[in-house]
Amino acid sequence: MSTDLLPEMALIPGGEFLMGSEDAEGDERPVHRVHLDDFLIAVQPVTNAEYARFVRDTGHRPPAVYELPLVVTAGGAERENAFRQTGAAYVWDDVSPPDGRADHPVTLVRYDDAVAYCAWLSASTGRLCRLPTEAEWEKASRGGVESKRYPWGDRLDRNLSNFLADPALKASHGTTPCRLYPPNPYGLFDMAGNVWEWVHDWYDPAYYATSPTRNPSGPSSGHLRVLRGGGWLVADVRMLSCSHRHKVPPDTYSYAIGFRIACTP
């Protein structure tokens, strides 16, 4: 077993925080107080370089454009062509990431790919590695700052996060290296922007009304999965808020979706 495979982690102290937002989408309400035990979360998303060790060690299929996800095929031929065209820059050459993107977050990964990575990392290090729950992700994103919109407060601009500040630049935009933008108060990078991040939970729009008050882990089943944090393609900054819940079919993947890991101390 090799502990050097573990990424840099931040300890998020146990305690209560306010989850959700009263001035956002309906599934972010009601705002409710949640208690979480101590947990560890990676200070940045899994990078291409980190994911490459997993691919080479296990033979897991590398990030590429495979069978198209439902969110793409539902948009017809034009959307399918656009997905393939934009995704080409993120397709790996066999087991090697695209040139110059080793320190960028890995993309083109499905929920199942992220879970498989966590299982490999757990077996390789002897530590239980997993995706963070929605509640863990949101508490970590807030950085100990109560009831603010973004990981640093209520202000967000292009100097704080990688998002599509100018939609006219979409064709030349893309992922950026992790840690390029300032961290939040917990020392976490890219909690808003760069890539959407898979979390553990199934999606239920009414879950907050019945959620356990201690260590909630989401519904036991569902039809949609949850992404958090927004990505480089986001032009609507409301999607970059700490509380925003983005729901997608489980087969979803894209050049703007990645993940980060969590562990129990």
pLDDT digits (tens), the chain, 265 positions: 666 899 999 999 999 999 999 999 999 999 999 999 999 999 999 999 999 999 999 999 999 999 999 999 999 999 999 999 999 999 999 999 999 999 999 999 999 999 999 999 999 999 999 999 999 999 999 999 988 999 988 988 889 999 998 888 888 899 999 999 999 999 999 999 999 999 999 999 999 999 999 999 999 999 999 999 999 999 999 999 999 999 999 999 999 999 999 999 9
Strand partners, 16: 35
Does the predicted model carry a pTM greater than 0.85? Answer: yes
Residue 209: in which H helix or E strand, if any? helix 207-210
Per-residue tokens: 257: 């979706």
Domain count, the chain: 1
Query: For residue 104, what are the domain limits?
Result: 3-263
CA geometry: angle at 8 spanning 4 and 9, to 5°? 120
Per-residue tokens: 244: 């925003």
CATH number, domain at 83?
3.90.1580.10
- Other Cβ atoms less than 10 A from the Cβ of 236: the count is 10
Q: Would you list the DSSP string of 14-60?
A: -EEEEES-TTS-GGG-S-EEEEE--EEEESSPPBHHHHHHHHHHH-P
